[in-house]
Amino acid sequence: MTENLLYIKLNKTNYEYDVHAIVKAFYADKQVKVSTPESKFKQEKINDAGFFMEAELYKEGAKLRIGGNEYQWQFRRNAARGEDTGEASYKAGFKAFLYQSLQNSTGKSLPWGNLTGIRPTKLAYGMLEEGRSEEEIRNFLEEEHFVSRQKAELSIDIARRERELLADVHYEGGYSLYIGIPFCPTTCLYCSFTSYPIAAYRKRVEAYIDCVIKEMEYVSHRYAHKILDSVYIGGGTPTTLEAEQLDRLISALKKFFNFSAVKEFTVEAGRADSITEDKLKVLLKRGVGRISVNPQTMKQETLDIIGRRATVEQVEEAYALARRLGFDNINMDIILGLPKETEADVQNTIDRIVKLAPDSLTVHSLAIKRASRLNQWILENGVSMLRNTDKTMEIAAEGAKRLGMEPYYLYRQKNMSGNFENVGYAKSGKAGLYNILIMEEKQTIVALGAGSITKLVLPDGRIERSENVKDVTLYLEKIDEMIERKAKLFSLEQTVDSDEGVRD
């Protein structure tokens, strides 16, 4: 077991996340453990296995020992370039040093360089907002963060398109709404989201809807003065609800909120084994304009492995039904790097999706989450059975191009297969506005339901959060506390407004 572990000794705290993320990106098939002076796991266990890397950080720079090699870095403050000469500048320099040392040690380069955050397009977006040229942004990404030319171009292209799509969004005077339905037919092998098997929770669904409606009522009154831009019902799988339950939920939504300015109303139908004609008719009747029918793959053997009970044929039938009923904005999700899938399998999936001709396509790179059952599968079958490559990414991008789509949003996750990214592609006029808003964090998103997180974007750019408990039973018991958490969060807006009034 120890040969699969990489132990890192770090002499300072507050650097663990970045060190872990960068090392893990180079060694995706290994478990990475970072030891600091405050670590809770026993030092002697690490000494038995030996250290993969030791990092000594000090005021003037840092020293790394990787295997038999030693690397040194001297921290040079560059005030002439307007850089922060404090901790932020030191950390940026250390991350660059760590990346280059691992690059030298392994002989590998990573497509996203030393960027460890999930929103790489935020850098390009922010620089465009500052009036920087595309050449300046490209050089910054390549030279400061070692991002490949291809990914730098992609980041700039998406940031430019995002700015155009968000031009009419009400940032300070508006908000978006997310409603989480944490039930699924089954839990997929790779899933770590808050989801519960609908069969076991069927008797609690009505009570759950009652609680979500209670949250709705509070938010609608508290935000009556604000403009609602987009609404997204996700999960879980929202269509695990019965048609009558969906109708009750959305009817309440339309009752409490003013939809006159809503630009996009999405319901993530998702699983084909939960989609029926009566449910789709409810969504149409209640004004849902955008839905998802998500195959993840068009290979039946893979669907069986990951625990999605719908067959490939059911996916195609659900999609055809939605088209026949009149939906004209349908998204499909796929995942690259699923167990045992080859480039030929990905090509087959793309070819079948091209024939269906959805309006948007979201291409996910498999992320190995600690809370998912995928970790056990990897122990039994080996991580080499998960293959995501430049070629599979190219196959997906080419398929989107054949469908007349362009990339419009992008995000990354920790422990992604191939160290790649998730990209949303869409035809003109069919991009998912909510997807961009959740990534760029330019607007407040109020979230309802178990496991959801409200993000409050304050006028000074700060982002504050309020989390609902994940457990459904606890959510039902503590709904009043969830509302009180929101009240406390929303009060921060008044505090900022008051402070600005004093300054004026």
pLDDT tens digits, one per residue of 135-163: 999 999 999 999 999 999 999 999 999 99
Q: What is the mean pLDDT of residues 223-241?
A: 96
The rounded distance, in Å, linking the Cα atoms of 425 and 54 is 42
Distant-in-sequence, close-in-space partners of 210: CB < 8 Å, separation ≥ 6: none
Q: Is the pLDDT of residue 383 over 80?
A: no
3-state helix, strand, coil in the chain (%, to 5): 45, 20, 30
Specify the 3-state DSSP secondary structure of 30.
coil
Query: What is residue 155's predicted lDDT score, i.e. its pLDDT?
Result: 96
Query: What is residue 464's predicted lDDT score, i.e. its pLDDT?
Result: 97
Q: What is the mean pLDDT of residues 467-473?
A: 96
The rounded distance, in Å, linking the Cα atoms of 221 and 213 is 12
The rounded distance, in Å, linking the Cα atoms of 416 and 28 is 8
The rounded distance, in Å, linking the Cα atoms of 392 and 299 is 15
Query: What is residue 1's predicted lDDT score, i.e. its pLDDT?
Result: 41
Confidence of residue 388 (pLDDT cuts 50, 70, 90): confident
Least confident range of 40-54, 407-421, 442-456, 468-482: 40-54
Helix (H) or strand (E) holding 73: strand 69-74
- By CB neighbour count within 10 A (0-12 exposed, 13-18 middle, 19+ buried), where does 11 fall? middle
What's the longest Cα–Cα distance across the chain? Answer: 67
pLDDT digits (tens, 9 = 90+) for 453-462: 999 999 988 9
Strands 406-411 and 360-365: unpaired
Distant-in-sequence, close-in-space partners of 197: CB < 8 Å, separation ≥ 6: 183, 184, 185, 186, 187
Written as one letter, the residue type at 10 is L
Q: Is the pLDDT of residue 82 over 50?
A: no
Confidence of residue 373 (pLDDT cuts 50, 70, 90): low
Q: What is the mean pLDDT of residues 305-320?
A: 92
Q: Is the pLDDT of residue 499 over 90?
A: no
Least confident range of 192-196, 344-348, 440-444: 192-196
Query: What is residue 306's predicted lDDT score, i.e. its pLDDT?
Result: 86
Written as one letter, the residue type at 503 is R
The token pair at 459 is 């006028």
The rounded distance, in Å, linking the Cα atoms of 504 and 495 is 14
Q: What is the mean pLDDT of residues 364-378?
A: 69
CATH of domain 1-106: 3.40.50
Instruction: Using alpha carbons, select from 453, 485, 480 the residue that is nearest to residue 211.
Output: 480
Q: What is the mean pLDDT of residues 316-328?
A: 97
Cα-Cα-Cα-Cα dihedral sign, residues 456, 459, 463, 465? negative
The rounded distance, in Å, linking the Cα atoms of 160 and 153 is 11
Question: What average pLDDT is seen over the chain?
Answer: 89
DSSP letters for 122-177: HHHHHHHHTT--HHHHHHHHHHHH---HHHHHHHHHHHHHHHHHTTT--SSSEEEE
Q: What is the mean pLDDT of residues 204-216?
A: 98
- At 135, give phi and psi (nearest 5°): -65, -40
Confidence of residue 504 (pLDDT cuts 50, 70, 90): very low
Find out whether 432 and 352 touch, Cβ atoms under 8 Å. no
Go through 93-130 and write b for each residue having 16 or more CB atoms within 10 A of its CB, e for each that does not.
Answer: bbbbbbbbbbbeeeeeebbbbbbbeebbbbbbbebbee
**Full strand arrangement of the beta sheet holding 69-74:** 31-35, 5-10, 53-58, 61-66, 69-74
Find out whether 407 and 389 touch, Cβ atoms under 8 Å. no
CA distances to 167, 226, 267, 291 from 170, rounded to whole Å, are: 9, 9, 22, 23
Half-sphere exposure of 28 (CA within 13 A, CB side): 24
Query: What is residue 41's predicted lDDT score, i.e. its pLDDT?
Result: 57
pLDDT digits (tens, 9 = 90+) for 9-50: 999 999 999 999 999 889 877 888 898 888 765 555 555 556
Beta carbons within 10 angstroms of residue 1's beta carbon:
7
For the chain, which residues make up each domain, given as ranges? 1-106, 174-333+422-448
Report percent pLDDT > 90 for the chain. Answer: 70
Q: Do domains 1-106 and 174-333+422-448 have the same CATH topology?
A: no
Query: What is residue 234's predicted lDDT score, i.e. its pLDDT?
Result: 95
Q: Is the pLDDT of residue 415 over 90?
A: no
Distant-in-sequence, close-in-space partners of 403: CB < 8 Å, separation ≥ 6: 353, 354, 357, 358, 361, 425, 427
Higher-pLDDT residue of 487, 196:
487
The rounded distance, in Å, linking the Cα atoms of 409 and 370 is 25
Instruction: Using alpha carbons, select from 307, 181, 318 the residue that is nearest to residue 237.
Output: 181
Q: Is the pLDDT of residue 429 over 50?
A: yes
Beta carbons within 10 angstroms of residue 251's beta carbon:
14
- At 99, give phi and psi (nearest 5°): -60, -50
Q: Is the pLDDT of residue 500 over 70?
A: no
CATH of domain 174-333+422-448: 3.20.20.70
The rounded distance, in Å, linking the Cα atoms of 188 and 373 is 8
